[in-house]
Amino acid sequence: MQDMETQHAVARRLRLFSSFENLGEDARRAVVAAGEVRDVDSGESICLLGERDEHVHYLLEGMVRLEMADGSTRDLHAGDGPARQALDEPGYKLASIVATHPSRVFRIDPASLPGTPAPGTVTPAPATSFTETFSGQQLAALVGALRSEHQGLAGVASPPAAIAAEGGVGERTVSGVELDLPDLESTRGPQPVSRDELDSPPPAPQGDALASLTRAFEADLRRVVDALRAEERTRAQFKLKAYADKLKLQAEEQLKAKARAMRARYEQANAAREADIRKRYEQLLDLANRLTRQKAEINQARQQIEDKLKRAESLHRELAELGGVVSGHLEQIDEMLPADDGELERDLGVRDMLRDVVPAGEAPAAPHDDGSAPAAGF
Higher pLDDT, 60 or 125: 60
User: pLDDT category, 181, cuts 50, 70, 90?
Assistant: very low
Q: Is 80 exceeded by the pLDDT of residue 320?
A: yes
- Three-state DSSP class for 61? strand
Q: Which stretch, 4-13, 246-255, 333-342, has highest mean pLDDT? A: 246-255
- Other C-beta atoms closer than 10 Å to the C-beta of 259 total 19
Q: What is the pLDDT of residue 309?
A: 92
**Percent with pLDDT over 90 in the chain:** 17
For 46-76, write each residue's pLDDT tens digit.
999 888 888 999 999 999 999 998 889 999 8
Q: Is 70 exceeded by the pLDDT of residue 330?
A: yes
- Least confident span in 56-60, 83-87, 139-143, 257-261: 139-143
- Three-state DSSP class for 99? strand
- Please indicate, yes or no, whether the overall pTM of this predicted structure exceeds 0.85: no
CA 299 – CA 137 distance, rounded (Å): 13
- CA-nearest of 74, 53, 68, 60 to 9 is 60
Burial class (CB in 10 A: 0-12, 13-18, 19+), 239: exposed
Q: What is the pLDDT of residue 285?
A: 80
CA 346 – CA 169 distance, rounded (Å): 129
For 277-295, write each residue's pLDDT tens digit.
887 778 788 878 888 888 8
Q: Is 80 exceeded by the pLDDT of residue 252?
A: yes
Q: What is the pLDDT of residue 203?
A: 53
Residue-wise over 265-284: b if at least 16 C-beta within 10 A, else e? ebeeeeeeeeeeeeeeebbe
Q: What is the pLDDT of residue 357?
A: 58
Higher pLDDT, 75 or 144: 75
Average of per-residue pLDDT values in the chain: 75
Beta strands in the chain (DSSP E): 36-40, 45-47, 52-53, 56-61, 63-68, 73-77, 91-92, 95-99, 103-108
The distance from CA 116 to its chain's CA centroid, rounded to whole angstroms, is 15
CA 358 – CA 132 distance, rounded (Å): 84
For 148-169, write each residue's pLDDT tens digit.
666 665 544 444 444 444 444 4
- Least confident span in 22-31, 122-131, 255-264: 122-131
Query: Residue 60 in contact with residue 99, Cβ under 8 Å?
Result: no
Query: Residue 17 in contact with residue 80, Cβ under 8 Å?
Result: no
CA 150 – CA 144 distance, rounded (Å): 10
User: pLDDT category, 185, cuts 50, 70, 90?
Assistant: very low
Q: Is 70 exceeded by the pLDDT of residue 350?
A: no
Higher pLDDT, 181 or 85: 85
- Least confident span in 139-143, 181-185, 232-236: 181-185
Q: Which residues contact residue 180 at a Cβ distance below 8 angstroms, ignoring those fewer than 6 apart?
A: 244
CA 143 – CA 276 distance, rounded (Å): 20
For 257-275, write each residue's pLDDT tens digit.
889 888 888 887 777 777 7
User: pLDDT category, 193, cuts 50, 70, 90?
Assistant: very low
**257 in the Ramachandran plot: left (φ > 0), alpha (ψ -120 to 50) or beta?**
alpha
- CA-nearest of 66, 123, 67, 56 to 90 is 56
